[in-house]
Amino acid sequence: MPAFQRPTEATLSTAIRALQARFGNRTVTSEAVRRQHAHTLTWIPNEPPDVVVFAETVDDCVDVMRIAATHGVPVIPFGTGSSLEGHVNAPFGGISVDTSSMKAIIAVHAEDLDVVVEPGVTRKQLNEHLRDMGLFFPIDPGADASIGGMAATRASGTNAVRYGTMRDNVVALQVVLPSGEVIETGRRARKSSAGYDLTRLFVGSEGTLGIITRITLRLHGIPEAISAATCSFPTVRAAADATILAIQTGIPLARIELLDEVQVRAVNAYSKLTLPESPLLLVEFHGTEAGVAEQVERFRAISDDCGGGDFQWAARAEDRTRLWQARHDAYWAAMALKPGAKGQSSDVCVPLSRLADCIDETKRDIEATGLVAPIVGHVGDGNFHVLPLMDETDPEDVARCKAFMGRIVERALAMGGTCTGEHGIGQGKMAYMRAEHGDAALALMAGLKQAVDPQGIMNPGKVIG
C-alpha cells in the first residue's frame, strides 16, 4: 500500500478543534504530555503526536476514530508506553488515544476460568483482583503493562514456557475499527470453528488495524506449591544446554530465565543481591507439593550433568518475589553498567535446538565487537534479549551497535528463528520483515491492512509501513 502522507497543518487544526469540542479538557496538546506519549526507552527518536485524547469509554474511542477518519488523521493507541520498538511513536503526527483510564474489570467467570477487562487494566491490577478467588493471569512481560497493550503486541514473558503467550490466552476482543465500527472477534466458548480467526488477527497487530477496547482472557488456578531456585553454570552454552535438556525431557517448568555473567553482575549491583557472577538460570516450578519436589530433583540431575552448581532455593514467597523483581529490573540494572549510555533492548527467538548455538555465537560477537551488551532471556521457548549500550554522541559507537543488532537478527533467521519473539516489530524491526516472511506474505499483510484500514490512518509507519 502507498506510504502514508502527514496531514496538513490546516487539517490537523480542524481535527483538533473537533476533538476539543467533543472531549474538552481530555484533549491535551501540551508538548510535555505529547512527548510522554511517544517512544522514549531506546535509541529510536521520540516522535510525539499532535494531540492526546484520554478515552474513558468505548464510545470515546468510536468518536475519536470517526473524527480521525473524517479528516484522514493518524490514530496511535496508547496503553502504558512500555513497548520497546517505537510502537507508540507518531512519525506522521496525529492523535494518541490513551486508554489507561479504561480500567474496569467487567466480569470474572471463575467457573469458566476467564475474565473480561477493559484495555487500561494492568496485569498487576488484574492479579490483585483475582488473588482471593484462587486465580491468576500468567502472562508476565516484566513491566506492569496494560492488558490492551499486551494484546496488541502479542506479549510474552517469564511464564510463557508453561502458560503460553497472549496469543494463547486471549479468548476474544472488542475492537473499534478505523471506520468507527465496533466488532466482537469471538465468544467465551473454549473453542470455535466459525469463520476466520479474527481474534488472532488483532492480537499482535500493534495498533495498525484498530483500537482494542475489551479483552476476554483465560485464567489459571494459583498452584498449590511454588518453588524457585538459581543455578550457576561455567558457560552460557552449558546453561542453554541444561535448558534444552529440561524442556526435551518434559519437565513442566513454569519459568526458566537465563542471565549471562554481565547481567548477573548488573543485577547484583542494582538489586543488592549476592548471586555468583557467572551464567545463571533462574527457575520456578508450579504444581502439587509432590509434583514440584519431583520436578526439582529431575532438573537438579540435568543441571549436574551440564556442569551446574551452587543451587540456591527461594522457598518463601518474599524471597521469590525479590528474585523475580530483580529479573524484571534487569533492563534498568543493565543501563547502570554504562551511565549516560543509551540501550536498545532487542530480542530474537530460535528453535530450541539452536538456542545454545545462537547465544554462543552472539557472545563471541559481543567480545569481538568490544561492546557492553548483557544477555537475558526466556530461554525455555528459545527467546533471548541483548541490550548493547552505546554512546549516542559517538557516531562510531552507534554504527558498531547497529551493525551488531543486525547480525543478531541475521543469525536468528539463518537458524530458522524470528527477528522478534515478543517485543514486536513497531518501527525498530520493519527492515527485517521481508527477509523473514518473503514478498508474497508481506504483500498479503499489506492487503489485509488495506482492507481493514483503507485510509491507512491506524498507527502508520509501523510493522509493514
pLDDT in tens, 376-413: 989 999 999 999 999 988 999 999 999 999 999 999 99
Which residues are CB-contacts of 263 (< 8 A; sequence separation ≥ 6)?
A: 330, 333, 334, 374, 375, 376
* DSSP notation for 240-265: HHHHHHHHHTT--EEEEEEE-HHHHH
* Percent over 70 (pLDDT), the chain: 99
Distance of CA 93 to the CA centre of its chain: 24
Which residues are CB-contacts of 345 (< 8 A; sequence separation ≥ 6)?
A: 41, 42, 84, 331, 385, 386, 387, 423
Predicted local distance difference test score (pLDDT) of residue 121? 98
Residue 449, pLDDT > 80, answer yes
Which residues are CB-contacts of 108 (< 8 A; sequence separation ≥ 6)?
A: 115, 129, 130, 133, 135, 219
Query: What CATH architecture is 225-414?
Result: 3-Layer(aba) Sandwich (3.40)
Predicted local distance difference test score (pLDDT) of residue 315? 72
Global pTM?
Answer: 0.94
Residue spans in the chain of domains classed CATH 3.30.465.10:
105-221
Residue spans in the chain of domains classed CATH 3.40.462.40:
225-414
How many CB atoms are closer than 10 A to CB 284? 24
Work out the pLDDT band at 2, boundaries 50, 70, 90.
Answer: low
pLDDT, average across residues 355-384: 94
- Alpha carbons within 13 angstroms on the beta-carbon side of residue 31 total 1
Residue 248, pLDDT > 80, answer yes
Please answer whether residues 383 and 370 qualify as being in contact, where contact means their C-beta atoms are separated by less than 8 angstroms.
Answer: no
Predicted local distance difference test score (pLDDT) of residue 157? 87
Cα angle 23, 24, 25 (rounded to 5 degrees) comes to 115
Residue 436, pLDDT > 60, answer yes
Secondary structure class of 111 (helix, strand, coil): helix
Work out the pLDDT band at 120, boundaries 50, 70, 90.
Answer: very high
Cα angle 342, 347, 352 (rounded to 5 degrees) comes to 150
Please answer whether residues 277 and 270 qualify as being in contact, where contact means their C-beta atoms are separated by less than 8 angstroms.
Answer: no
Question: Which neighbouring-strand residues pair with 117?
Answer: 105, 215
Which grid cell sits at 362? Answer: 552472539
pLDDT in tens, 150-183: 999 999 988 999 999 999 999 999 999 999 999 9
pLDDT, average across residues 329-345: 90
The topology under which CATH files domain 105-221 is 3.30.465
Distance CA 458, CA 88 (A): 11
Predicted local distance difference test score (pLDDT) of residue 392? 87
Return the H-helix or E-strand segment holding 183: strand 182-184
Q: Which of 110-114, 211-215, 426-430 has the lowest mean pLDDT?
A: 426-430
Predicted local distance difference test score (pLDDT) of residue 177? 98
Residue 1, pLDDT > 60, answer no
pLDDT in tens, 72-106: 999 999 999 988 899 999 999 999 999 999 999 99
pLDDT, average across residues 351-363: 94
Sign of CA dihedral 271, 274, 279, 283: negative
pLDDT in tens, 175-210: 999 999 999 999 999 889 999 999 999 999 999 999
Work out the pLDDT band at 344, boundaries 50, 70, 90.
Answer: confident
pLDDT in tens, 13-23: 999 999 999 99
